[in-house]
Structures are given as C-alpha cells and as structure tokens.
C-alpha cells in the first residue's frame, strides 16, 4: 500500500517531482487577510473559525477548512487592555479549547521592539462580540529581555498547560501556565525550545502538536514580511521547520538529531512554484482531511504585500515519523 501511495503521488502530482511539496489545497471565499492564522472548529455545530493578525484579530468562518470563508468581525474590537504600544494592532492569535471555554492568546507589540506582552481573551462560542479580554498572561518582555513575548501557542499535557512563545533574540521559549490557563503559573521559569544562532535569529511562531509518540515543534524561520518592499536572498524568506521530542516541554531535535536549541530544524514547507514565504503556521487534526498544516503564504500570481497573503492548507503525512506535505 505504501509503495502504491508513493507511486500514485508521483504520477498524479508533477509538483512533487519539481519541488518536493504539494500545492496548497483549494481555498474559496475570503482566503486573504490570513496573516498568522489560527484554525479551530466549533464543537456545537462544526463551523470552522479562522483568526488572524490585524483588524483587532479578524475572524472568518466557513463550513469547511477550505471555505468558503466569510468575514465576521473582530475578536477584540475595543483594543487590548494591556497598556503597551500596539494594543490596537494585535498579532498572531492562537485559539484552543480548554473545558467548555475557548482561549485566544494574542500578542501586543510593535515591529522590531521587545516591549511586548501575550494577552488572553475567552469565549464559549468563538463568535465576534463574545470575547472577554482578560489582559496580560504575565508573559511580558522589555528591552532587557533575551526574548520577545509574542506568538503564544498553548498545549495541554495531562492536567498541565504550557505556552510556547517567542521571536528573535534567543528565539523560542515555553512556560507552564496556571490551570485554567489565564496566567503563567506562579514562579514558572522559561525553558528554551529553539535557537538559531546563525544569521538574524529569525525564528518565531512556535506550534506544538502531538502525533503518535511524539510532540512536534513547528516554527517559522526567516524574513516574514514586507516582500513587496524588499526580498531577502533566496532561501532566507519565511519557511516552516520542525523538530520533535517525546516530551512537550523540551528535548526537541531535527531529523539529523541536532537539537533545536543548537540551530536544528528540518524543513517542512518552503517556497515552491507560485508559493513564496509560507509561515505563521499551525496544525489541526481535521475530521475530514486528517492532520493539516495551515499557514499564510504569498501567491506570486496575486502579489507580495502582507495584506495579499493567502490562507494555505496541506495534508500532513506523519507515516515516516516526520511531517511531510
């Protein structure tokens, strides 16, 4: 069966031969306005919700992960109560369900500075207008920090909750959260997850996903934005990397056994064909499609501006023990 599957994918998808990556699955409706997406399905009626950077956390809904997507409004229309610059321009949402409540983690920051905080809001319906902003989780950074408190992602491990976060400086960290996960646990310390000491330390957007016997740490590496103004050298644009561990809380290595804290990382999805700079990813175990990687990317046939970025989805094949799209 395995050989047959490989054979048919070679025959049916020329892009596999040319680039090693499948094209994104078709998306319909509002597939732009998709920067740093977070995807979740509402349990009560199966509606898909997509949250994204900008527009005070824009909300789109659809009957399937592939659309058709419709804009619904802002999650936090009155701005965050966190008193930092950027509290009306919220970044990188991550939405997870804990018990009967949906938790939305968001970042308050300004481009290139470390005066940042990860905030949280809660809702029981996911709808626009239903979110209660609880302000800061206590995960904050300033110019004296070796990290940037942005790009939060929550994972539950038994009775415990952990928030992975970070961007640039010493890159990715994780802290234990209280239960329920509205604040960091008192006295929690930061554990390093990933660090790329070469180049500009452009590692961000952690997403930890459990599959089989492993936890997979997905992250984005390289220049994220502003491709319409300037593009980096080929290969230095955003791309999606992964490390894995038996533990959700550390010990992540790439497929050569190199620790993620020592420049490690295995490429999951990079630029190919008309797809450029994919990143800001998450992983969702979809009822119909199975595990999917979702992300934003530049469709070079549409345009390179941040506002033109498209919502991409690929099925993930974990059968080798590593995610392949």
Ligand X SMILES: *[C@@H]1O[C@H](CO)[C@@H](O)[C@H](O)[C@H]1NC(C)=O
Q: Is 226 in the site for ligand X (CB under 6 A)?
A: no
How far is residue 75 from each of residues 80, 132, 261, measured CA to CA in Å? 10, 9, 34
How would you label 159-173 residue by residue, b for 16+ Cβ within 10 Å and e otherwise? eebbbbbbbbebbbb
From first CA to last CA, the distance across the chain in angstroms is 18
Q: Is 241 in the site for ligand X (CB under 6 A)?
A: yes
Nearer to ligand X among residue 26 and residue 234 (C-beta):
234
Tell me how far, at minimum, the Cβ of 60 lies from ligand X, in Å: 29
Nearer to ligand X among residue 239 and residue 296 (C-beta):
239
The closest residue (CB) to ligand X is: 251
Tell me how far, at minimum, the Cβ of 163 lies from ligand X, in Å: 19
Nearer to ligand X among residue 32 and residue 220 (C-beta):
220
Q: Is 45 in the site for ligand X (CB under 6 A)?
A: no
Nearer to ligand X among residue 58 and residue 203 (C-beta):
203
Query: Long-range contacts for 131-138 (Cβ within 8 Å, ≥24 apart)?
Result: 131/75, 131/76, 131/104, 133/76, 133/78, 133/80, 133/81, 134/182, 135/80, 135/81, 135/82, 136/82, 137/105, 137/163, 137/177, 137/181, 137/182, 137/183, 137/184, 138/183, 138/184
Q: Is 204 a catalytic residue?
A: yes
Cα Rg, the chain, nearest whole Å: 18
- Tell me whether residue 292 is exposed, middle or buried, using C-beta atoms within 10 angstroms of its C-beta: 0 to 12, 13 to 18, 19 or more: buried
Closest of 225, 205, 222, 223 to residue 305, by C-alpha: 225
Which of 33, 136, 137, 245 contacts ligand X by CB under 6 A? 245
Nearer to ligand X among residue 73 and residue 232 (C-beta):
232
Question: What are the two backbone dihedrals, phi and then psi, of residue 200, each rounded to the nearest 5 degrees?
Answer: -100, 10
Q: Is 167 in the site for ligand X (CB under 6 A)?
A: no
Nearer to ligand X among residue 180 and residue 235 (C-beta):
235
Q: How far apart are CA 309 and CA 32, in angstroms?
A: 5
Choosing from 133, 151, 171, 204, which is the catalytic residue? 204
Tell me how far, at minimum, the Cβ of 234 lies from ligand X, in Å: 11
Q: Is 236 in the site for ligand X (CB under 6 A)?
A: yes
Nearer to ligand X among residue 120 and residue 193 (C-beta):
193
DSSP E strand stretches across 42-151: 48-52, 58-62, 70-74, 91-98, 101-108, 116-123, 132-141
Which of 203, 206, 275, 316 contacts ligand X by CB under 6 A? 203
Q: Is 198 in the site for ligand X (CB under 6 A)?
A: yes
Which of 29, 77, 135, 251 contacts ligand X by CB under 6 A? 251
Q: Is 246 in the site for ligand X (CB under 6 A)?
A: yes
Q: How far apart are CA 253 and CA 231, in angstroms?
A: 29
Q: Number of residues in contact with ligand X, rule: CB under 6 A?
A: 15
Which of 265, 278, 279, 280 contacts ligand X by CB under 6 A? 265
Which of 14, 20, 199, 226 contacts ligand X by CB under 6 A? 199
Q: Is 159 a catalytic residue?
A: no
Structural tokens at position 106: 């968001």
Structural tokens at position 29: 């409706």
Q: Is 196 in the site for ligand X (CB under 6 A)?
A: yes
Q: Is 141 in the site for ligand X (CB under 6 A)?
A: no
> Which stretches of the chain bind ligand X, using CB under 6 A?
196, 198-200, 203, 221, 236, 241, 245-247, 250-251, 263, 265
Which residues are catalytic, by number? 36, 204
């Amino acid at each position: 069966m395995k050989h047959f599957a490989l054979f048919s994918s070679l025959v049916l998808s020329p892009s596999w031969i040319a680039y090693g990556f499948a094209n994104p699955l078709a998306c319909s409706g509002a597939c732009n306005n998709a920067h740093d997406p977070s995807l979740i399905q509402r349990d009560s009626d199966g509606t898909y919700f997509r949250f994204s950077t900008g527009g005070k956390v824009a909300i789109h809904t659809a009957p399937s992960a592939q659309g058709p997507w419709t804009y619904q409004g802002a999650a936090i229309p009155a701005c965050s109560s966190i008193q930092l610059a950027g509290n009306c321009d919220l970044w990188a949402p991550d939405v997870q369900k804990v018990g009967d409540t949906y938790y939305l983690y968001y970042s308050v920051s300004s481009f290139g500075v470390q005066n940042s905080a990860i905030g949280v809001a809660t809702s029981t319906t996911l709808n626009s207008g239903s979110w209660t902003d609880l302000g800061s989780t206590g995960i904050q950074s300033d110019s004296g920090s070796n990290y940037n408190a942005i790009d939060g992602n929550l994972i539950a491990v038994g009775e415990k909750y952990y928030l992975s976060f970070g961007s640039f400086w010493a890159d990715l960290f994780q802290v234990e959260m209280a239960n329920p996960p509205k604040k960091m646990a008192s006295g929690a310390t930061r554990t390093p997850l990933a660090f790329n000491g070469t180049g500009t330390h452009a590692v961000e957007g952690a997403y930890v996903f459990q599959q089989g016997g492993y936890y997979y740490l997905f992250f984005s590496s390289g220049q994220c934005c502003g491709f319409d103004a300037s593009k980096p050298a080929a290969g230095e644009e955003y791309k999606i990397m992964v490390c894995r561990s038996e533990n959700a809380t550390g010990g992540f290595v790439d497929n050569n056994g190199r620790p993620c804290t020592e420049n490690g990382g295995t490429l999951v999805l990079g630029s190919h064909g008309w797809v450029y700079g994919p990143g800001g990813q998450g992983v969702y175990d979809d009822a119909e499609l199975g595990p999917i990687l979702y992300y934003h990317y530049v469709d070079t046939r549409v345009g390179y501006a941040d506002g033109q970025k498209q919502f991409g989805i690929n099925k993930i094949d974990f059968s080798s023990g590593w995610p392949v799209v």
